[in-house]
Amino acid sequence: MDVRQLRILRELGELGSVSAVAEALLVTPSAISQQLRLLQRSIPVPLTERSGRRVVLTDAGQALAGAAVEVETALARARQTITNFLEQPDGDVSVAAFHSAGATFFPLLLRGLAGPGNPRLVLADEDVAQDRFPRLARDYDLVLAHRLDHAPPWPRTVTVTPLLHEPLDVALPAGHPLADKTRLSPQDVAGQPWITVHDDFPLLATIEAIGAAANRRLDIVHRINEFSVAAEAVAAGGGLALMPRWTARRHPAIVLRPLSDVHAQRHIDALHRPERTARRAIRMVIAELRRAAAQIQDRGTA
């Protein structure tokens, strides 16, 4: 038996005829009769009987129709419970982010959503290779992910909310001879030692593009994923590095210079499974992420 069949039985008890039930439910009488036959197959005693030209409920049918009322009442309560859950503004929302996005966005989220009536944030750092970001959407409500301009788009299994389109600059010590230039070319930087990320992480493709534009292989001496650590290595003279213009913490001993002739930009996006935004709390966090992104860009370009 299913809920539709139980409802038909209940309506038959109240309306008194198959044709009246069909009219009330906007289906044909034959469809009503078919559902009653299917229901009868799962019940060991007759549910209906003939009374003249009409089909009426037996005592067993009346008992089951009474139970159908309880079933529909329970389902209505369950639907209301789900509605209340989806519209609840202060439910838990889990957000994962790669390191530089977490360092920049998390404080803004925590301040922007502080206080009663706001979602309860559950934050985590996840620094993974680009193709693994969409998989994190299984475990987190929202995932802050980054990809380079020329990288493949995110798969259709996730919904994408664009947040930032961020330039990547060359970081070098403040006293470095190249620091006097306002822009750097691949030929300027190709002969320098480099600090870059581990294999399969997005920024490595831009490093390779610099080498291709300069027609030489770059000398990669250090592999450091965390920008704050890489900045310390740059400041100490360990080499040049690519740094995001807005989301990396400013280091007083290094300078950033834009790169010519190589398209060095990355997208920072919020990824989530499409069904997640049925919850009001998650929609509130996405709206706050957009506000935070605008603030980050305004602060970086001021």
CB 29 within 8 A of CB 37: no
Residue 266 and residue 197 in one domain? yes
Nearest to 12 by CA among 53, 61, 45, 50: 61
Residue 74 and residue 96 in one domain? no
Confidence check: pLDDT of 51 > 80: yes
> Which of the 8 DSSP states describes residue 237?
T
Rounded-to-integer distance, Cα 133 and Cα 270, Å: 10
Residue 151 and residue 103 in one domain? yes
The pLDDT assigned to 53 comes to 82
Read off the pLDDT of residues 116-142 as tens digits, 9 standing for 90 and up. 999 999 999 998 888 899 999 999 999
Question: Alpha carbon 101 to chain centroid distance?
Answer: 15
Read off the pLDDT of residues 253-301 as tens digits, 9 standing for 90 and up. 999 999 998 889 999 999 999 989 988 999 999 999 999 999 999 987 7
> What SS3 class is residue 267?
strand
Q: In this predicted structure, which of 142-151, 203-212, 214-223 has the lowest mean pLDDT? A: 203-212
The 10 Å CB-count burial string (b at 16+, else e) for 97-127 is bbbbbbbbbbebbeebbeeeebbebeeeebb
Residue 254 and residue 216 in one domain? yes
Rounded-to-integer distance, Cα 104 and Cα 124, Å: 13
Residue 101 and residue 228 in one domain? yes
The pLDDT assigned to 109 comes to 97
Residue 162 and residue 106 in one domain? yes
How many domains does the chain contain in total?
A: 2
End-to-end CA distance of the chain: 66
Residue 7 and residue 148 in one domain? no
Confidence check: pLDDT of 91 > 80: yes
Percent of the chain with pLDDT strictly greater than 70: 99
Average of per-residue pLDDT across 31-57: 89
Rounded-to-integer distance, Cα 273 and Cα 276, Å: 6
Percent of the chain with pLDDT strictly greater than 90: 62
Residue 131 and residue 199 in one domain? yes
What's the predicted TM-score (pTM) here?
Answer: 0.73
The pLDDT assigned to 302 comes to 64
The pLDDT assigned to 123 comes to 97
> What SS3 class is residue 300?
helix
Dihedrals φ, ψ of 185, to 5°?
-100, 165
Average of per-residue pLDDT across 27-32: 92
Read off the pLDDT of residues 54-70 as tens digits, 9 standing for 90 and up. 888 999 999 998 888 88
> In the structure encoding, which two tokens stand for residue 201, read together?
């992480």
Rounded-to-integer distance, Cα 280 and Cα 19, Å: 43
Domain that holds residue 140: 92-301
Final residue of a structural domain among 26, 61, 87 = 87
Residue 142 and residue 272 in one domain? yes
- Around Cβ 66, how many Cβ atoms within 10 Å? 12
Residue 270 and residue 155 in one domain? yes
Final residue of a structural domain among 63, 87, 111 = 87
The pLDDT assigned to 54 comes to 86
Nearest to 171 by CA among 88, 100, 272, 122: 100
Residue 112 and residue 191 in one domain? yes
Average of per-residue pLDDT across 41-61: 89
Residue 28 and residue 152 in one domain? no
Confidence check: pLDDT of 159 > 70: yes
Nearest to 158 by CA among 284, 276, 290: 276
CATH (domain of 35): 1.10.10.10
CATH (domain of 113): 3.40.190.290
Average of per-residue pLDDT across 92-99: 95
Which residues are within 8 A (CB) of 150 and not within 5 positions of it... i.e. 6 or more apart?
205, 263
The pLDDT assigned to 66 comes to 87
Dihedral sign for Cα atoms in the order 179, 183, 188, 189: positive
Q: Is 82 exposed, middle or buried (0-12, 13-18, 19+ CB in 10 A)?
A: exposed
Final residue of a structural domain among 38, 56, 87 = 87
Nearest to 170 by CA among 183, 156, 157: 183
